[in-house]
Amino acid sequence: MARFRGVLLTGLALLVVAGLWGLPQLGKLLGEDIGGETQAVEGRTESFALDGPATLRFVDLNGSVSFARAEKEEDRQKITIIFTRKAKGGDQNQAKAELEKVAVEFKPTKGGIDVISRTGGGLLKKPSANKQVDFRIVAPEGVGVTVANGRGSVALKGVQGDVKLEGPSLAVDLNDVRGDVFVRTDRGDIRVANSLGQARVETREGSVTLSKVSGAALEATGSKDISIKDGGAESDLRALSQAGNVSVDRSRGKTVVVEANAGRIAMSDTTAEESLTATARNGAMSFRRVNAARFQAATESGDLSLADVQGGLDLKTGKGSVNISRATASSLKISGTGGATFSGQLPASGESSIQIAAGNITIYVGKESAFRLDARTSSGKVTVDDRLQMDTQDRPGSSRIQGVANGGTAKLGLSTGAGDIRISNNSPPVY
């Protein structure tokens, strides 16, 4: 259990006029252009003795929070909070009067410290755009950070504890966190990097970037682009974008789920131990060096491109083509309205199918490939390379060919409503 003793270390009040520089260090930090208004600033430091793990909980944040891990021995037994109150006004007297309305309250609790910011005014006490409080924390390992009803920015580096951030408007930058991360905001971009612990982050208006994050689960939801690189999830890895692109690189999960409602999906060097599901409403998909026991990809409109993939493939496109190269398929099912190309290793058993409404189908296989073929086209012709040992009674170039290649038993069904079907031994194109 954590015990705290609050000690006020320093106090400093400044009146800073916008555009004036050459002030003491704190004045330099805060003397920024504020459109001709006067800004009143007060900086203070609060220190709390620490005995055990603790959580800093910021309530009604209207400003910023930054965190640095304590490095000096004398700083490892306490939490230091450097906070700066700010208020703007038309002149010095008005700015100073507004600053008096900005308050910070520290409430030691059983599990940590509640830091309550009061920057509102009027009957509803809503946060004011002209008043804020910025916090800088220096704390040892075992100290987590929570923000409730936050507005502003949160930049934490080196936190060795859980992080939970919620608010209507938060820009979040987390680095080197050793603990679970939970972020939910209506507006603002989210970035998490070099962290160990599960991460569940969501922004209704913003982008999400996860880089070198590993934990029990990874979940990223946003309205703009979502990027996951070098991610590791013991269970689920999920990424959902409402109006942006989704990219997943060098990552793994027991199950991988990606969705883009109005953007593209790109994935490379990723493994799903059990299943991978990718869904797009209006965008293309590309997969490179992706492995999954069950591999499902579907888009209402857009091309599907796969290279060096492994697993049971179930692919659908409402409007677009499907191109697969160097695949090792344990099962194969393709449906769509455009053309389809496949090269690689066909399933050794079971039934595989490629069915498209219109377009050409081309299958590149080795001359030793074994399967039972049923290929048909409503408007076009079916051809089989002479080098493939095919036992068939059908005439080459007809609209349907049924036959057995190299005594195979695995079924391969190919059909197109309008287009040619070709089974070739030639070298396939590179996608």
Q: Among 372, 394, 393, which Cα is nearest to 382's?
A: 394
Single-letter code of the amino acid located at 45: T
* Tokens standing for residue 304: 């599907």
* Tokens standing for residue 342: 């496949």
Spatial contact of 239 and 227, defined as CB atoms under 8 Å apart? no
Measured at the CA of 58, the angle between CA 57 and CA 61, to 5 degrees, comes to: 165
Measured CA to CA, the distance from residue 324 to residue 308 in angstroms comes to 8
Strand duo 390-392 + 322-336: pairing: unpaired
Mean pLDDT for 335-342 is 93
Spatial contact of 319 and 297, defined as CB atoms under 8 Å apart? no
Query: How sure is the predictor about 17, in pLDDT bands with cuts at 50, 70 and 90?
Result: very low
pLDDT for residue 23: 27
Measured CA to CA, the distance from residue 28 to residue 72 in angstroms comes to 26
Number of residues in the chain: 431
pLDDT tens-place string over residues 117-161 = 998 754 445 667 789 999 999 999 899 999 999 999 999 999 999
pLDDT for residue 27: 35
CA distances to 3, 80, 193, 226, 312 from 71, in Å: 21, 12, 21, 34, 51
Spatial contact of 217 and 233, defined as CB atoms under 8 Å apart? yes
3-state secondary structure 287-305: EEEEEEEEEEEEECCCCEE
Measured CA to CA, the distance from residue 172 to residue 46 in angstroms comes to 24
pLDDT tens-place string over residues 159-213 = 999 999 999 999 999 999 999 999 999 999 999 999 999 999 999 999 999 999 9
Mean pLDDT for 219-230 is 98
pLDDT tens-place string over residues 375-405 = 999 999 999 988 888 888 887 788 999 999 9
Q: First vs last Cα of the chain: how many Å apart?
A: 59
pLDDT for residue 19: 25
pLDDT of 24 strictly over 90: no
Strand duo 143-148 + 151-157: pairing: unpaired
Measured at the CA of 103, the angle between CA 99 and CA 105, to 5 degrees, comes to: 160
CA distances to 264, 427, 430 from 305, in Å: 12, 18, 11
Q: How many CB atoms lie within 10 A of CB 104?
A: 19
Share in percent of the chain as helix, strand, coil (round to 5): 5, 60, 35
Q: Among 145, 165, 178, 175, which Cα is nearest to 54's?
A: 145
Q: How many CB atoms lie within 10 A of CB 146?
A: 20
Torsion (CA) 91, 94, 100, 101 in degrees, nearest 10: -120
Spatial contact of 92 and 18, defined as CB atoms under 8 Å apart? no
Query: How sure is the predictor about 110, in pLDDT bands with cuts at 50, 70 and 90?
Result: confident
Mean predicted lDDT score pLDDT of the chain: 88
Query: How sure is the predictor about 90, in pLDDT bands with cuts at 50, 70 and 90?
Result: confident
Residues pairing with 17 in the sheet: 38
Measured CA to CA, the distance from residue 257 to residue 235 in angstroms comes to 11
Query: How sure is the predictor about 35, in pLDDT bands with cuts at 50, 70 and 90?
Result: low
Measured CA to CA, the distance from residue 320 to residue 297 in angstroms comes to 13
Question: How many CA atoms lie less than 13 Å away from 177 in the CB half-sphere?
Answer: 30
pLDDT tens-place string over residues 348-359 = 999 999 999 999
Spatial contact of 16 and 72, defined as CB atoms under 8 Å apart? no
Question: How many CA atoms lie less than 13 Å away from 421 in the CB half-sphere?
Answer: 30
* Tokens standing for residue 149: 């009803």
Spatial contact of 224 and 241, defined as CB atoms under 8 Å apart? yes
Q: Which residue has the higher pLDDT, 34 or 5?
A: 34
3-state secondary structure 102-127: CEEEEEECCCEEEEEEECEECCCCEE
Q: Among 76, 67, 70, which Cα is nearest to 115's?
A: 67
pLDDT for residue 129: 76
* Tokens standing for residue 204: 């209704």
pLDDT for residue 11: 32
pLDDT for residue 123: 40
Q: Among 194, 274, 261, 192, which Cα is nearest to 234's?
A: 274
